[in-house]
Amino acid sequence: MLSIGEAVSVVAPAMPEVRTAEVAVWVLADDPVLTGEVIPRLRVSSELRLVSAGRREDADVVLVLTSVVTDSLLAVMAEIAESAVNREQCMVLVAGPMRERQLARAVGCGVVSILPRRDATPRLITRAVVASHCGGAMLPETVTRWLVDESRMLRQNLLTTQGLKPGGLTLREVDVLKLLAEGEDTARIAERLRYSERTIKKIIQDLLTRLNLRNRAHAVSYALRVGAF
């Protein structure tokens, strides 16, 4: 279970001082208490414009207010995302703790900002909606860390299944570059790796071309920079 009841980290571009248009918001709510507190304040906001149910597909941001994230709610959110006419539509989720698998599904539905329910004031929600529409995000620290760890794991799994090392290098290319870094010439590398010298030259030329690298020294520098060895 992921607790999202702590400080929220903000990843957002600077907000312009003057906005030329209000952010169109459609609200999906199953929390009567939170809804009663938030909706009246949002209606009078100069930055937001609440849209009717019939205009849901055109909304810039879907605001989800819930006390508990359930699988049925996530199914509804997925349906909303699939039916959106506005291809830049995103979601802001205000909720209590949720499970990691639910977080993954929520992100898949287009959720870019998540606010802890107990700390979500109308002002903070407005800020999250505007930031999300402008390409930013507001996330609790635990959620941010989970997303970073998940991204790292997916990258490692992808590289492993494709037989690649960091930077898109193959295992064989890394072996060659390691020896180049040690000062070995082509003939010696071929001898140590038990390939023909022609094969070693082709390996080097292929990776230079594929990764747009200038020369062997540049290739070694690139491998070191991306942590291939």
Query: Which residues, at least 6 apart from 101, have a Cβ–Cβ distance to it below 8 Å?
Result: none
pLDDT of 83 over the 70 cut:
yes
Which pLDDT band holds residue 17 (cuts at 50, 70, 90)? very low
Token reading at 55: 């205009």
pLDDT in tens, 85-98: 998 999 999 998 88
What average pLDDT does this structure show over 192-196? 93
Which pLDDT band holds residue 149 (cuts at 50, 70, 90)? confident
pLDDT of 164 over the 80 cut:
no
Q: Could you tell me which CATH class the domain 8-143 is placed in?
A: alpha beta
Query: Which residues, at least 6 apart from 59, have a Cβ–Cβ distance to it below 8 Å?
Result: 24, 25, 26, 51, 84, 86, 89
The distance from CA 5 to its chain's CA centroid, rounded to whole angstroms, is 21
Q: Is 190 helix (H, G, I), strand (E, B) or coil?
A: helix
Query: Which residues, at least 6 apart from 18, have a Cβ–Cβ distance to it below 8 Å?
Result: none
What average pLDDT does this structure show over 204-212? 92
Output the pTM of the full model: 0.64
- Domain positions in the chain are 8-143, 161-225
**CATH topology assigned to domain 161-225:** Arc Repressor Mutant, subunit A (1.10.10)
Bigger pLDDT: 100 or 95? 95
Which pLDDT band holds residue 28 (cuts at 50, 70, 90)? very high
Q: Which helix (H) or strand (E) holds 191?
A: helix 186-193
AA letter at 155: R
pLDDT computed for residue 18 by the predictor: 41
Handedness of CA 38, 42, 45, 47 (dihedral sign): positive
Token reading at 210: 């594929």
